[in-house]
Structure 1
Amino acid sequence: MRWGRAAAAAGLVFLLTSCGAEFNPLYVEGAAAEPVIGWRDCPRADSDGIDEVGLYTWDKSSTVDEPGELLWRIKSDHGALLHRLRLGSTPKGFTTLHALTTTLEPGTTYALRTNMKSEDLVSGFLTFRPGQLRAGSGRIVFGSGKAESRKQYDARDDEDFGCFND
């Protein structure tokens, strides 16, 4: 099953972190009521779009491999290429495998896990609270729940996200 490979790929993300990447390229932004999931594009990277994404509850006993209760999951059908999508939606070219049937609570922590369409099986993982997001503020949540302005995020060196130009 692809999620099993996702866990292995998440390990790769953590391995990359130990080799100089401070954060993975997955982020969340927008209004708390309608968050948008995004993937930071790395120059010359071979990750060509989000293939699959899952949203989970997160608590003190959760891990990357066991992030908690599955709340929503979608998967690309035949080559849909997206770097941004609204959380809870099913964009054209995707299939809902588990519909989001609950409203996200501002103070609750959630986990996102993604796989990218890539021969390298790049994946991303982050935790966030919808209360960290504010419509029109340009705030972005990435990494381990780190929040900052979109301007600050965009100004970070690509190498912070494992985007090396070698």
Structure 2
Amino acid sequence: MRWGRSAIALGLVLLLCGCGAKYSPLFIGGAVSHPVIGWRECPGVEYNGITEVGLYKWADEGTADDPGELLWHIAATDGHVVDRVSIGEAPAGFTTLHPLTTELESGTTYALRTNMASDQLVSGFLTFRPDQLAVGQVVFNGGKDESLKAYESRDNEDFGCFTG
């Protein structure tokens, strides 16, 4: 059984590296007053989740490798993994490397960069504006936003989950 799960995790890693996944599993949702970063989990895959998060104020000429000014940074200690993180907070098992000292401004674009437990080479990236955030909405894949219901109804294979 362990080999099967390892094969599934390896498949997920390969797919998220641009080999078939239509969307990144990284998303952000919730109200402007309490935004929550999430990682869409693949059914049956262990150790799949967020181990590090950086929040950046998006620069005019920013890129995924150099998104702009770092506003907040947390990282897991001792192999902790989560699938949800509230912006500005460090969950149990995480260390704050750069505290958030400012509020998010409406109309400003921000970037999220994350590393995942499945492999340090697998990361998530997205941009969003606080005015896109609302209860029952998510932002994912390059700033695309839609209802949480529509997002959750998308096929898992669109996110690289090939568990069959």
Q: Normalised by the size of structure 1, how large is the TM-score?
A: 0.84
Distance in 2 (CA, whole Å) between partners of 1:127 and 1:27 is: 10
Distance in 1 (CA, whole Å) between partners of 2:106 and 2:15 is: 27
Query: Paired residue for 1:145?
Result: 143
1:1-166 → structure 2 map (5 Å cutoff): 15-16=17-18, 19-45=19-45, 47-119=47-119, 121-134=121-134, 136=135, 138-165=136-163
Query: Paired residue for 1:7?
Result: none
The amino acid of 1:161's aligned partner reads F
CA contact (8 A) 1:13 1:124 kept: no
**Once structures 1 and 2 are overlaid, which stretch shifts more, 115-124 or 79-88?**
115-124
Question: Cα distance, 1:47 vs. partner?
Answer: 4.5
The amino acid of 1:101's aligned partner reads T
CA contact (8 A) 1:58 1:110 kept: yes
Aligned-residue RMSD, C-alpha: 1.8
1:77-131 alpha-carbon deviations (Å, 9 max, x no partner): 1122210010110111111000000110111100000001124642111000011
Which ranges in structure 2 are unaligned for 5 or more consecutive residues?
1-13
Runs of 4+ with deviation above 6 angstroms:
none
Distance in 2 (CA, whole Å) between partners of 1:127 and 1:68 is: 11
Question: For this pair of structures, how many residues does the alignment match?
Answer: 151
Distance in 1 (CA, whole Å) between partners of 2:55 and 2:22 is: 22
1:1-20 alpha-carbon deviations (Å, 9 max, x no partner): xxxxxxxxxxx77752xx43
Which ranges in structure 1 are unaligned for 5 or more consecutive residues?
1-11
Partner secondary structure for residue 68 of structure 2: coil
Query: Paired residue for 1:4?
Result: none
**Once structures 1 and 2 are overlaid, which stretch shifts more, 101-110 or 78-87?**
78-87
Partner secondary structure for residue 127 of structure 1: strand
CA contact (8 A) 2:112 2:126 kept: yes
The amino acid of 2:29's aligned partner reads E
Identical residues among aligned pairs (%): 58
CA contact (8 A) 1:139 1:150 kept: yes
Q: Structure 1 residues 55, 120: CA separation in 2 closer, same or farther (over 3 Å shift)?
A: closer
